[in-house]
Structure 1
Amino acid sequence: MKLKFLVALGIAATLYSCDDETTGIGQFVADNDMIPAKADSYTIETRSHLLDSVYSRSSTAYLGKFTDQDYGTFSSDFLVQINCPENFILPDRIEEIKEATLGLYYTSYFGDSLANLRVQVDPLTKVIKDDGTDKALYYSNMEPTDYYDKNAAPLATKDYSAYDRTIPDSIRNEDTYYPNVSIGLGKDFCKDFLEKYNYTETVNGKTIHPYFKDSESFINNVLKGFYVHTTSGEGSILYISDIYLHLTIAYWTKTDEDKDTLVHTIVPMSSTKEVFMSTRFQNSGMKELVNDTKCTYLKTPAGLCTEVTLPIEEMYEAHKNDTLNSISVSFQKLKDQSNTPFKMGTPGTLLMVRKSEMKDFFENNKVHDNKTTFLATYDSNSNSYSFSKLNRLISYIFSEIRTEIEKGETEWNNWKNEHKDWNKLLLVPVTTETDSQGNIIGVENDLNVNSAMLVGGEDLNNSSDENQRIKMSIIYTNPVQK
């Protein structure tokens, strides 16, 4: 009897160190005789789930194309607007805009640094009004042809590689060097830009440039934006952190001797968070992996995640009157056996979210609450992702069940039919943003090129060896009446 008491006490001490909030119907009551803590476990089922698109509102743009022997071909391209600061002005007495270049500055890339690709820039023909109401603008399957004329001649093209061999090492090794693809936009673009700038109006006796008074006027009247995409080659994906429109201006000014002289300057305009930018991702070969029964997959961006099915009804029948003190589960990562020279990274963080609530979570910029949404970071020592404090989620679902069951068996069955995914979770690769104190203040879909294979899938779900299947561990207490 004393041994049982000590074991239960040890379990209770462990669970309380993990979770400071117990949930459930029963109330934990300790007295001098016993602490009735018990352990249980349940088998969960997993399968790969295809993500045709993800909500991808990000300050990073992605460009390129890459084919992987296991995950197929992946490509990325983007739409972008250029911001015009309020009351933007160029130097007086402009002779001409000699050159305009679109600069794509990238912090890193995935793939072959020497692979040759060709990028094409097309002007947008339709104004994209980003007032926050059209969430479809930021899904990764948005259709660029809705916003530009694919039959018109391109504004510019440029051959490039992630490692620009035309840059000498003396420049590349400087701290100020920022890798970029610089694309000349041509003389016609420069001439049209200056003509629109030279259009003026007089307001309250002051001459203004109405098309350049703010970003909305600029986008509506001067430059609706660009569609940037690769048209040939493959082998790399650029992670573009800054996008600039550089204008090389020739204008007249006075010397110290009061003589006219022609000088040149570069005026930068940039894409900022105040204007629209969205990347499209396309994958091929994902559907075949969904049908792989030997494991489950994670693939970013906009590729694959893992779906988890919980035995909630079975758990409810056994623990509907218990206090759920601790529930945890781990998902083991399989070793990457591929021999590709360009291995993808491992997703660093997974979001566990109810399948029916994933869309709302990302569209409304929510942060995990450790009640119905949870985060787990990849542990390279154990080669796994571990989730804890899931007792809060299970108790929340128990409350849903209880509400419907109390209405009657018919209503309960109808509710399950109407909410097909009520017992399903998704494990979605994400990135997080933290404040100066290290608190997570933002959670977004992982848009870098990452992948992982997890233990699970239909073969394991149907395995006759229960010890090999994925287990959810539960520690609970029965209500004790004094």
Structure 2
Amino acid sequence: MKIFRFLPIAFAIVLGLSSCGDENSAIGSSIVDTNIEIVVDSSFQELITVESVPNDSVVGRTITQLIGRISIPGYGRLETDFLTQFMPAANFDTVGVNKLDSLILYLSYNTESFTGDSLAPMQLSVYPLDKRLESPVYSGIDPAEYYNAQAAPVALTSYNASFLGLPDSLIELGYKMIRVKLPDEMADRFYQKYKEDPTVFSSPSRFTQYFPGFYVKTSYGSGCVVNVQNTVMNLHYTKTTVINDKDSTYNSTQTLMAVTPEITTGNHIKLEIDAEIKNEISSGKVYLQAPAGLNVLIHFPTRKIIETFEDAVGGSGSASTVQGLVNSLTLRIPVKTVSSNYNLDPPQFLLFIRKSELQEFFEKKKLPDNVNTFYAKYDSDAHVYNFTGLRTFINNIIEKKRTGTEITDADEEIVLVPVSVYSETVSSGGSYYYYSYNEKEVVTDVVPYISAPSLALVDVDNIKLRLTYSKQDMK
């Protein structure tokens, strides 16, 4: 442990330095002090092996829902629908209500949140769930376990994703709604239940005991998949109030329930990977595909990296006069886009995680800790994912090793997983004497990538792994 502490000032300065060498060189070094050497080693990338592995049953938890069906040459056939509970409104408007006009399920999406032919005629059906969803919900869930597949749907509607024909006022807002009229009996049932016992609507857990939710299924059509960002159930009704001693009757609307991050929802996804991709994988090519498609499994040379570093600095033995420090460890994953009629993009983010920890990460809704898990954003200009902070991954394993925990195969089995990363801006600052203002982005959620069909070919020959470390002879 001493190798990481109480370093001379001249040596400590190099901690923040990144090496400036040719990435293609195997090993390069430069002397910045008579006793301090910075070593750049890119030879480890030759030890990396990668392969595509199935990712056909991901945790379908997400704040958006995917609905539709599409076949894309060179990608495959994707069919998606979803099961969801609802967050109820705590209070219903009951004063002066004369008539319940309709209960409408609205599925909203924006101008860029669909893939395929916007004019393709599609139809969806809505079924009530018979029981509460069990969390976590996986994309391979069997909906038949939660609804009566023999019963008729309570509602269905035809739609297309096109914005053509919409009023200019709605086009300017940038979103469109799929409108599904629910049975009048359902509207009356919800309303009367609230009047009888408002506590049923007091929490999601209590409400789902009364109303488990919906299964929204693609029942007709092919050629388009829509990413729904907002799902609500609105009650339209007629209301009378007294204004200036006169009765005034007008139409009103209230959102009775909505799909929110607090409740359980899951996308049911069926992806048949194109035979051409399967053949190319068999011949050694490596693909990333989403949703519920292909991850990349990496044999990461953790043991060799640590062995090389410790050999260079004399290990942890007290007799060594050399002290060393890992400055940086970076992994560069270049990809190639795949030509298609639908301009499929690579996933927006990749998650770097041990294969052994993958399932627990999503089930327990964890966030990247920059020690064991990391994420990288796709650089659309350079067509690459850059993982730049892996120094802490190696240092953590080194520290454990020096306290008796051996490196295992799990430390060398890494998966790259397509994900969506959600964040929010957090502001801070201010005191009695002065005011300062700072903003930073804080990651709030990381979920499997389910937003749209996505595909990329990994440029295996140009993967780069570079270790930079400093060492100092204390003699």
Q: Which residue of 1 aligns with 2:71?
A: 67
Q: Which residue of 1 aligns with 2:208?
A: 219
Q: Distance in 2 between matches of 1:171 and 1:474?
A: 55
How well do the aligned residues superpose, as a CA RMSD in angstroms? Answer: 3.2
Q: Distance in 1 between matches of 2:467 and 2:261?
A: 45
The reply to whether residue 299 of structure 1 matches residue 289 of structure 2 is: yes
SS at match of 1:115: coil
Structure 1 residues 399 and 258: CA distance shift in structure 2, 3 A: closer
The reply to whether residue 187 of structure 1 matches residue 146 of structure 2 is: no
Choose 285-294 or 371-380, whichever is displaced more: 285-294
Contact 1:367/1:440 (<8 A) preserved: no
The one-letter code matched in structure 2 to 1:90 is D
Q: Which residue of 2 aligns with 1:245?
A: 233
Q: Distance in 1 between matches of 2:267 and 2:80?
A: 7
In structure 1, which of residues 87, 91, 94 is the aligned counterpart of residue 94 of structure 2? 91
Structure 1 residues 35-184: aligned runs within 5 Å: 35-40=36-41, 41-42=43-44, 43=46, 44-86=48-90, 88-92=91-95, 94-107=97-110, 108-128=113-133, 135-137=135-137, 139-163=138-162, 165=164, 167-175=165-173, 178-184=175-181
Contact 1:48/1:290 (<8 A) preserved: no
Contact 1:85/1:215 (<8 A) preserved: no
Structure 1 residues 274 and 373: CA distance shift in structure 2, 3 A: closer
Q: Which residue of 2 aligns with 1:474?
A: 467
Choose 315-324 or 108-117, whichever is displaced more: 315-324
Q: Distance in 2 between matches of 1:403 and 1:109?
A: 52
Q: Which residue of 2 aligns with 1:25?
A: none
Q: Which residue of 1 aligns with 2:425?
A: 435
Contact 1:89/1:212 (<8 A) preserved: no
Q: Distance in 1 between matches of 2:105 and 2:278?
A: 38
Q: Which structure has the highest strand share of the two? A: 2
SS at match of 1:78: strand
Contact 1:55/1:140 (<8 A) preserved: yes
Cα deviation, residue 32, structure 1:
5.9
Structure 1 residues 240 and 389: CA distance shift in structure 2, 3 A: closer
Cα deviation, residue 392, structure 1:
2.7
Relative to the length of structure 2, the TM-score reads: 0.77
Identity, in percent, stands at 26
Contact 2:67/2:228 (<8 A) preserved: yes
Q: Distance in 2 between matches of 1:187 and 1:386?
A: 54
Query: Alpha-carbon deviations, 1:27-61, whole Å to 9, x = none?
Result: xxx99633233333211111112112223432212
Structure 1 residues 326 and 229: CA distance shift in structure 2, 3 A: same
Choose 117-126 or 384-393, whichever is displaced more: 384-393
Cα deviation, residue 99, structure 1:
1.5
Q: Distance in 2 between matches of 1:251 and 1:234?
A: 41
Q: Which residue of 1 aligns with 2:302?
A: 312
Q: Which residue of 2 aligns with 1:264?
A: 251
Contact 2:81/2:268 (<8 A) preserved: yes
Cα deviation, residue 234, structure 1:
1.6
The one-letter code matched in structure 1 to 2:348 is G
Q: Which residue of 1 aligns with 2:352?
A: 352
Cα deviation, residue 180, structure 1:
0.5
The reply to whether residue 327 of structure 1 matches residue 326 of structure 2 is: no
The one-letter code matched in structure 2 to 1:363 is E
Cα deviation, residue 355, structure 1:
1.6
Cα deviation, residue 230, structure 1:
0.5
Contact 2:335/2:458 (<8 A) preserved: yes
Cα deviation, residue 95, structure 1:
4.3
Contact 2:76/2:272 (<8 A) preserved: yes
Structure 1 residues 292 and 448: CA distance shift in structure 2, 3 A: farther
Contact 2:103/2:182 (<8 A) preserved: yes
Structure 1 residues 258 and 400: CA distance shift in structure 2, 3 A: closer
Q: Distance in 2 between matches of 1:115 and 1:332?
A: 35
Structure 1 residues 400-479: aligned runs within 5 Å: 416=408, 420-432=409-421, 433-436=423-426, 437-442=439-444, 443-449=446-452, 450-456=454-460, 468=461, 470-478=463-471
Structure 1 residues 316 and 124: CA distance shift in structure 2, 3 A: same
Query: Alpha-carbon deviations, 1:418-453, whole Å to 9, x = none?
Result: xx5331111222232142423332333322222211
Contact 2:92/2:256 (<8 A) preserved: no
SS at match of 1:441: strand
Structure 1 unmatched runs, 5+? 1-11, 20-29, 129-133, 201-207, 406-411, 457-467
Q: Distance in 2 between matches of 1:362 and 1:289?
A: 30
Q: Distance in 2 between matches of 1:269 and 1:281?
A: 28
Structure 1 residues 238 and 36: CA distance shift in structure 2, 3 A: same
Q: Which residue of 2 aligns with 1:33?
A: 34
Query: Alpha-carbon deviations, 1:165-223, whole Å to 9, x = none?
Result: 5x444444444x7401001112332343444345x3xxxxxxx64544554454333x3
Relative to the length of structure 1, the TM-score reads: 0.76
Q: Distance in 2 between matches of 1:335 and 1:263?
A: 54
The one-letter code matched in structure 1 to 2:352 is M
Cα deviation, residue 333, structure 1:
1.2
Q: Distance in 2 between matches of 1:169 and 1:154?
A: 31
Cα deviation, residue 65, structure 1:
1.5
Q: Distance in 2 between matches of 1:242 and 1:470?
A: 39
SS at match of 1:476: strand
Contact 1:84/1:218 (<8 A) preserved: yes
Contact 1:101/1:184 (<8 A) preserved: yes
Q: Distance in 1 between matches of 2:241 and 2:51?
A: 69
The reply to whether residue 288 of structure 1 matches residue 283 of structure 2 is: no
